[in-house]
């Protein structure tokens, strides 16, 4: 008997019935393994004569090759199937939503308040200026008509830098943004042709565009409790022209404050006060007519008509130029707007607090 086509057929269908490479390897063992059917046939040859071995051996070999070819074919089929399944399962679904960053950064509430202030004043034609935080004694105090023995100059109130500048000045961490009044005005006067010498009392009395500027930024004082931080923020305002008066200050500040708090339901009042760099001087108080802060006067700013001595230090002739200035606490405005009761929370860097403002 040399026809092994039935055996080949049997192997074919056994291989075709397998669904995974492991199943196929098991099926292979049934035919080609150590005790497989083909192997057993080979072993049976030993007992035969040389001629019989030849014919029967050749036939077994043909069958074996056919079975091996069938095995190889099925291996390929299963590998193809696996690849197709993998391609289908790993298909990119372009309609799925993108992955988002779980935590996004944002602006600090003081920065948000400052940007808000800048936008409101810019809409009223005010320039926004930036200046040094390490400031000279002359700009911080002298130019602003502070007498030499004024308590604000003392070490209890102002941080001093341990060096004297090349100009002979003592330097401090500016205790207010007011020095920016004189810095900005001097630059403005020079830009418009003012060639002044304050020491010789040569002051500018020619034509120039009005000075209208705010200068927000960090300020420093030796002070620390629930409503004071050694580092805090102020915004200075200055408007100098030939006929700028308190009524302009009131209109500008009222417009600012109603926009900042997004309500018309508030009142503003000037309360007489004293600052060396203004005469007359006033505190600006506001009162909300509704909401949680309703009915209480809240101090938000110092202000006044710029003192003639300061106008002179700007390089301007006080006989021709006049105007007002104000200095407001940005942190205080932010506390009122966002309902924050302890100033220190702004500067502790607690993400649970800060993330509420995004």
Return residues touching ligand DAH (CB under 6 A).
176, 178, 236, 275, 278, 302-304, 325-327
Strand partners, 135: 172
State whether residue 269 is helix, strand or coil. Answer: strand
Pairing assessment for the beta strands 127-128 and 211-220 based on DSSP bridges: parallel
Using the minimum distance from each CB to ligand DAH, give the nearer residue, 176 or 312.
176
Q: Which is nearer to ligand DAH, 143 or 178 (CB)?
A: 178
Residue whose C-alpha is closest to residue 305's, from 233, 249, 229: 249
Quote the least distance from Cβ 358 to ligand DAH, whole Å.
Answer: 31
How far apart CA 338 and CA 231 sit, in angstroms, is 20
Shortest CB 327 distance to ligand DAH, Å:
2
- Nearest distance in Å: CB 283, ligand DAH: 8
Nearer to ligand DAH, 18 or 114 (CB): 114
Q: Tell me how crowded residue 220 is: count the other CB atoms within 10 A of its CB.
A: 19
Q: To the nearest whole angstrom, how small is the minimum distance from the Cβ of residue 249 to ligand DAH? A: 9
- Sign of the alpha-carbon dihedral angle for 299, 300, 306, 309: positive
Q: How far is the CB of 187 from ligand DAH (least distance, A)?
A: 17
Choose between 302 and 315: whose C-beta lies nearer to ligand DAH.
302
Residue 296 Cβ vs ligand DAH, minimum distance, rounded to whole Å: 21
Tell me the Ramachandran region of residue 131: left when phi exceeds 0, alpha when psi lies from -120 to 50, beta otherwise.
Answer: beta
Strand segments (E) across the chain: 127-128, 134-136, 160-164, 170-173, 211-220, 231-241, 266-275, 278-288, 298-306, 322-329
For residues 325 and 340, which CB has a smaller minimum distance to ligand DAH in the complex?
325
Q: For 90-162, where are the alpha helices, taking DSSP H only? A: 109-123, 137-140
d(CA 138, CA 170): 8
**CB-nearer residue toward ligand DAH: 235 or 340:** 235
Shortest spacing between CB 205 and ligand DAH, in angstroms? 23
State in angstroms the smallest separation of the CB of 105 from ligand DAH.
Answer: 32
Q: Are strands 231-241 and 211-220 parallel, antiparallel or unpaired?
A: antiparallel
Residue whose C-alpha is closest to residue 292's, from 331, 261, 248, 259: 261
CB of 186 to ligand DAH, least distance (A): 16
If the CB atoms of residues 18 and 140 are measured against ligand DAH, the closer one turns out to be 140
Edge to edge, the sheet with strand 278-288 lists 127-128, 211-220, 231-241, 322-329, 298-306, 278-288, 266-275
CB of 223 or CB of 319, closer to ligand DAH:
223
The residue among 56 and 176 lying less far from ligand DAH, judged by its C-beta, is: 176
339: left (phi over 0), alpha (psi -120 to 50) or beta: left
């Amino acid at each position: 008997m040399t026809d092994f086509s039935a055996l080949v057929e049997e192997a074919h269908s056994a291989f075709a019935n397998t669904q995974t490479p492991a199943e196929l390897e098991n099926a292979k063992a049934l035919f080609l393994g150590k005790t497989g059917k083909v192997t057993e046939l080979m072993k049976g040859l030993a007992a035969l004569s040389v001629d019989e071995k030849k014919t029967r051996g050749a036939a077994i070999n043909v069958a074996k090759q056919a079975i091996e070819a069938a095995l190889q074919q099925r291996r390929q089929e299963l590998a193809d199937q696996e690849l197709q399944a993998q391609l289908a399962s790993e298909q990119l679904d372009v309609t799925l939503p993108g992955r988002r960053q779980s935590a996004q950064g944002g602006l600090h509430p003081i920065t948000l308040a400052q940007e808000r202030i800048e936008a409101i004043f810019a809409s009223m034609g005010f320039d926004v200026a930036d200046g040094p935080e390490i400031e000279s004694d002359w700009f911080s105090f002298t130019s602003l008509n502070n007498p030499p023995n004024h308590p604000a100059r003392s070490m209890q109130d102002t941080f001093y830098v341990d060096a004297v500048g090349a100009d002979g000045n003592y330097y401090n961490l500016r205790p207010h943004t007011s020095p920016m009044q004189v810095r900005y005005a001097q630059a403005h006067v020079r830009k418009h042709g003012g060639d002044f010498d304050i020491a010789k009392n040569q002051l500018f009395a020619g034509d120039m565009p009005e000075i209208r500027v705010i200068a927000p930024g960090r300020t420093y004082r030796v002070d620390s409790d629930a409503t004071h931080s050694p580092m805090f923020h102020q915004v200075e305002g200055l408007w100098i022209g030939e006929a700028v008066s308190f009524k302009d200050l009131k209109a500008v500040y009222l417009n600012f404050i109603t926009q900042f708090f997004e309500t018309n339901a508030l009142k503003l009042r000037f309360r007489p006060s004293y600052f060396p760099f203004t005469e007359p001087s006033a505190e600006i108080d506001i009162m909300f007519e509704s909401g949680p802060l309703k009915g209480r006067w809240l101090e938000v700013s110092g202000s006044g008509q710029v003192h003639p001595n300061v106008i002179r230090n700007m390089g301007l002739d006080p006989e021709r130029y006049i105007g007002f200035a104000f200095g407001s606490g940005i942190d205080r405005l932010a506390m009122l707007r966002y309902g924050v009761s302890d100033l220190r929370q702004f500067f502790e860097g607690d993400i649970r607090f800060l993330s509420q403002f995004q």
